[in-house]
Structure 1
């Protein structure tokens, strides 16, 4: 007759607690060994070059000082193209080429240099006619005369489309005039527009030379005595210069206060 199993040995197939602990330790050791091998493999991959030879990887610095050095390097490596061709071939200040510096427009109109546009033709005609009469004008006075001219035009005229100060000044310079950099005194009460002085430089007549000599004097002097002007004109234009010719150029371009002569518009009456 078969022997009955010992009641203390427990049911068949059961594992004791010690055995379970031993199995868990064995698995943990195996897992640890696998993790060690995986970690070693990854370290070797990191040490190995990830890119083909000859390819340079730029490392980004983490400190602020490093960032400043990189920015300085970038500025040295790629200087800004300030040549005229660069300005026209690339964007300027994020604007399309048609709005780049030097091709400025106002209210959608082309710059005055485009002489074929009706606005440019009308504006230039006004400027030329005005300087043939006045010879010397500040920007402030020129704008006042332009507003009077606009008031005389019929409604819907092309000049009502909008003219900027920049367009007006560019047209003046394109019409044979020059800006005279008068050395105003430091405590002057004149406005910025009153300190921008423009004068007819070339009109094609005999008085151009006299006017140019006079304007050169006022580019270095805010006010001048008549004897200095006459002496300089005689020196530059010849001894045969008459008093009437001196009087004419002074009348065309200057005003007199307290025995001193000033360019028109540069002194408060």
Structure 2
């Protein structure tokens, strides 16, 4: 039975103000406290961006107004001596800014209704905005404070004179696809740019009881009464508003390009499914992959599929470089060819097969690709940690390696073949470094011999010569019983692979030495303990090392020992890099000799010593070298870490 019609009301639709009618909401303003009694100082609008700014006066004579606080805030914004016009000429915080935010995106579905003589007149809305108080004056105060601090630091910056040369990267614009253009238009940066391009239009605010407001309200009423032509019956009209569900319609929501739904995965073949998962994840464990596939899937088929699109690193699967960067394509940042990117990425992955961590600087020195390209590669499969470099995203999957020895052996053969290709292309030596010229080799050996003599003069004992294996292979040592602490002497390895232990320790300390330049014994113990925690059970480092072995190894890795007296009467020992294998080694040696004589130096002292030794070096390189080794304090350079000892 239909409901009884109680009353019929005529409804009129007027569009006279539909392009100019905005609804302004005040969500943080009490209902019984409108702005009708407030004073509006200025009103600014950006019609295209739907932005509104209104300055409302604050009654500074009110009993609730704290004068001292208002003067302090105004002074923080303008400063004692403002550069331009004052934001608050009265010297007090005498206004508050109301700033708009988007209310409802699709406002054309809403209308304002006016009732007159029993008829309803509807006008569609053009925009709905929400007005809230803005505390932008605090941002201005913060910016002014930072500007004053910057001016105070100018003298200090001039005294240090440590301006560094900045690397300029040339980027090439590439043709934008329709999908990329769509994402760019929706991005925050693009919207902010469009907002800044539109200038503010100034308007006058009319209150509710003003004459102008009354005239505008009168235009909300329809002046012409024309009947609406019916295009459907009442039942058909209701059906168009609320359609009846006749069948299950799958409405796939818009998703990012790197997200796959389970429904999409189920519609793919096994090979395509595995490729899609690995490509989007970049690195994944075998157990995670199986969890995303069907429970009744044949795991042997999945194993074959993943080996076509991924390689094994640390017991986990990483998508192949040629899958991410197909042939004849170019990188997004610098338009680098796919062959160059794939080769660099393969070398990075190979390094991760040798160690769960690496130093980005060492990789960049070999592959020679732009830093942003290399950083993007690392971020996909690793995460940075202070003083440890880049750590692989997952721990070594010992369970998978133990259960799938044939697959692991096959992947080792793949990596061996790939390494031979990389070694040939990058001209790597046996210790995985770029081959150096004969001139560089003579210079390095000359400075290394000099550093050995410095060690003898300062330490009083001859470093023990060691024979180090120079092979870039994974050290597969038998399982030993681990010692209780790294400082314990090597008792489990007296008849074992001592050369292998020394080689592994040398690689570890040399890698860290090239990065940090200055060590203490505590630093070396921490580096060893961190590395030991990352190694699987039975690793050769688990046999333990003594402090004497750490010291001898770091001295044979290109460092010199310096006895540092700071404060007077106390002595600390530092190990300083002087043999990095480049043209700056003579300068490193001279600087180390100066620190052997004094616990602090001046840059002028280093320059004078270089001139006496007839070593030519420009000012920028001297500054860079001092920053690598020292900290600046009160006009002097101190070795890093020495101020805390």
With the shorter chain as reference, the TM-score category is: 0.5 to 0.7
Structure 2 residue corresponding to 1:106, chosen from 486, 490, 507:
490
In structure 2, distance between residues paired with 1:155 and 1:115: 16
8 Å Cα contact 2:532-2:541 kept in structure 1:
yes
| Secondary structure of the structure 1 residue equivalent to 2:564 | coil
For each residue in 1:89-145, what CA deviation from the matched residue of structure 2 results, as whole angstroms up to 9, or x when unmatched? xxxxxxxxxxxxxxxx6224349xx99622111111111111111222111222222
Structure having the higher helix fraction is: 1
For each residue in 1:167-226, what CA deviation from the matched residue of structure 2 results, as whole angstroms up to 9, or x when unmatched? 1111112222221233333354xxx7xx12111222221010111110000000011222
Structure 1 residue corresponding to 2:627, chosen from 239, 251, 256:
251
The structure with the larger Rg is: 1
Structure 1 position 265, deviation (Å): 1.9
Paired residue for 2:607? 230
1:132 aligns with 2:514: yes
In structure 2, distance between residues paired with 1:248 and 1:133: 13
Q: Which has the higher contact order (CA 8 A, sep 6+)?
A: 1
Contiguous gaps of at least 5 residues in structure 1:
1-104
The aligned runs of 1:159-174 (5 Å cut-off) are 159-174=541-556
TM-score where L is the length of structure 1: 0.53
Give aligned pairs, total.
Answer: 158
1:176 aligns with 2:552: no
Compared with structure 1, are the counterparts of its residues 221 and 108 closer, same or farther at alpha carbon in structure 2 (3 Å cutoff)?
same
Structure 1 position 152, deviation (Å): 2.1
In structure 2, distance between residues paired with 1:257 and 1:110: 47
Structure 2 residue corresponding to 1:196, chosen from 559, 568, 573:
573
| Secondary structure of the structure 2 residue equivalent to 1:241 | coil
| Secondary structure of the structure 2 residue equivalent to 1:197 | strand
In structure 2, distance between residues paired with 1:250 and 1:148: 28
8 Å Cα contact 1:183-1:222 kept in structure 2:
yes
In structure 1, distance between residues paired with 2:536 and 2:511: 19
8 Å Cα contact 1:183-1:219 kept in structure 2:
no
In structure 2, distance between residues paired with 1:252 and 1:234: 21
Structure 1 position 243, deviation (Å): 0.9
Paired residue for 2:644? 268
RMSD: 2.6
| Secondary structure of the structure 2 residue equivalent to 1:120 | helix
In structure 1, distance between residues paired with 2:593 and 2:494: 33
In structure 2, distance between residues paired with 1:123 and 1:115: 13
The aligned runs of 1:69-88 (5 Å cut-off) are none
Compared with structure 1, are the counterparts of its residues 128 and 230 closer, same or farther at alpha carbon in structure 2 (3 Å cutoff)?
same
In structure 2, distance between residues paired with 1:185 and 1:237: 33
For each residue in 1:23-72, what CA deviation from the matched residue of structure 2 results, as whole angstroms up to 9, or x when unmatched? xxxxxxxxxxxxxxxxxxxxxxxxxxxxxxxxxxxxxxxxxxxxxxxxxx
Paired residue for 2:595? 218
Paired residue for 1:149? 531
Contiguous gaps of at least 5 residues in structure 2:
1-488
Compared with structure 1, are the counterparts of its residues 142 and 244 closer, same or farther at alpha carbon in structure 2 (3 Å cutoff)?
same
Task: Report runs of 4+ in structure 1 exceeding 4 Å deviation.
Answer: none
8 Å Cα contact 2:492-2:543 kept in structure 1:
no
In structure 2, distance between residues paired with 1:267 and 1:116: 37
Structure 1 position 241, deviation (Å): 2.3
In structure 2, distance between residues paired with 1:222 and 1:207: 22
